[in-house]
């Protein structure tokens, strides 16, 4: 089978949290969007693989979401047992926002376990959550994933410009969504990222595009917004993102 071709990239979404996985996946496929779809618990992963089977542009990542660590910590052995079959890992990471801070120590324990196991197996691509936890996420990636040939995509990264520069030095990629482009606050950081580390994401259904949950098929607007911010043509931005994703998963 030849490599699938795509025109857009959604490097972080949750197809299984839309009311109908198949119709969203079909629209992604029709819009020629490569999709990296997260799971939030390892128990969901096998079912997601089945649902994605007919879509050659959809890959499923094996996750244990930091916001669910408090309640799903006992699924960590299941996550470990599935890792050998998974090329993509996510959603994983840390969340230090007030609502989830109670489980922060447990989250760190899980994330260290995830990073160490990925480093040992090698060749994984991880999509990483870092809400209010840019520094500890980077500290842990540096300590437990390096040196290995695994790649990290920082999803919805909202750290400072200097943290972003540190992440670049660690080899991280960045998946940018529509909501990040709507706040002036992130402009400086977004402009400082090297072109060869940029990706797009919808994080659907958790983000809103035109009053509806963002979908992979609405990534075109995100590419346009990012192109405008960085003073590039929409098409060269789009091509760079496709090349970056190809590089990452290729």
Q: Which stretch binds Mn ion (CB under 5 A): 84-92, 131-139, 169-177, 184-192?
A: 84-92
- Which DSSP string corresponds to the chain? -PPPP-SEEEEEE-GGGSS-HHHHHHHHHHTTEEEEE--SSGGGHHHHHHHHTT-TTEEE-B---GGGHHHHGGGHHHHHHHGGG-SEEEEEEEE-STTTGGGHHHHHHHHHHHHHHHHHH---EEEEEEET-HHHHHHHHHHHT-SSS-EEEEET----HHHHHHHHHTT-EEEE-HHHHT-GGGHHHHHHS-GGGEEE---TTSSEETTEE--GGGHHHHHHHHHHHTT--HHHHHHHHHHHHHHHH-
Site residues for Mn ion, 145-204, by CB under 5 A, read 203
CB of 64 to Mn ion, least distance (A): 13
Measured between alpha carbons, how far is 95 from 80 in angstroms, rounded to an integer?
21
CB of 12 to Mn ion, least distance (A): 6
Taking the least distance from each CB to Mn ion, the nearer of 16 and 203 is 203
Taking the least distance from each CB to Mn ion, the nearer of 57 and 128 is 128
CB of 59 to Mn ion, least distance (A): 15
CB of 18 to Mn ion, least distance (A): 13
Taking the least distance from each CB to Mn ion, the nearer of 59 and 203 is 203
Site residues for Mn ion, 90-109, by CB under 5 A, read 91
Taking the least distance from each CB to Mn ion, the nearer of 107 and 240 is 107
How many of the chain's residues bind Mn ion (CB under 5 A)?
Answer: 2
Site residues for Mn ion, 109-128, by CB under 5 A, read none
C-alpha distances out from residue 23 to 11, 13, 41, 196, 201, Å: 18, 14, 22, 31, 18
Taking the least distance from each CB to Mn ion, the nearer of 10 and 203 is 203
Pattern of binders to Mn ion over 202-221, x per CB under 5 A? -x------------------
CB of 100 to Mn ion, least distance (A): 13
Pattern of binders to Mn ion over 35-74, x per CB under 5 A? ----------------------------------------
CB of 72 to Mn ion, least distance (A): 15
Residues found near Mn ion in the complex (CB under 5 A): 91, 203
């Amino acid at each position: 089978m030849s490599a699938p071709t795509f025109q857009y990239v959604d490097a972080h979404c949750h197809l299984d949290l839309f009311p109908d996985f198949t119709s969203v996946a079909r629209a992604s496929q029709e819009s020629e969007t490569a999709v990296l779809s997260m799971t939030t618990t390892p128990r969901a992963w096998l079912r997601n693989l089945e649902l994605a089977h007919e879509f050659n542009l959809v890959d499923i990542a094996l996750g244990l979401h930091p916001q669910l660590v408090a309640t799903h910590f006992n699924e960590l052995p299941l996550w470990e047992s599935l890792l050998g079959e998974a090329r993509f890992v996510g959603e994983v990471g840390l969340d230090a926002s007030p609502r989830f801070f109670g489980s922060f120590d447990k989250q760190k324990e899980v994330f260290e376990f995830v990073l160490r196991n990925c480093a040992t197996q090698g060749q994984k691509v991880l999509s990483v959550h870092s809400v209010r936890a840019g520094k500890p996420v980077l500290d842990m990636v540096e300590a437990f994933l390096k040196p290995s040939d695994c790649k990290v995509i920082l999803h919805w990264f909202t750290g400072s410009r200097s943290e972003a520069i540190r992440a670049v030095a660690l080899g991280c990629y960045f998946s940018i969504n529509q909501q990040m482009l709507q706040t002036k606050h992130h402009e400086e950081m977004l402009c400082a990222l090297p072109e060869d580390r940029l990706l797009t994401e919808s994080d659907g259904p958790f983000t809103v595009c035109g009053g509806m949950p963002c979908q992979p098929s609405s990534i075109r607007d995100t590419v346009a917004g990012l192109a405008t911010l960085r003073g590039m043509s929409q098409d060269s931005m789009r091509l760079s993102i496709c090349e970056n994703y190809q590089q990452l998963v290729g």
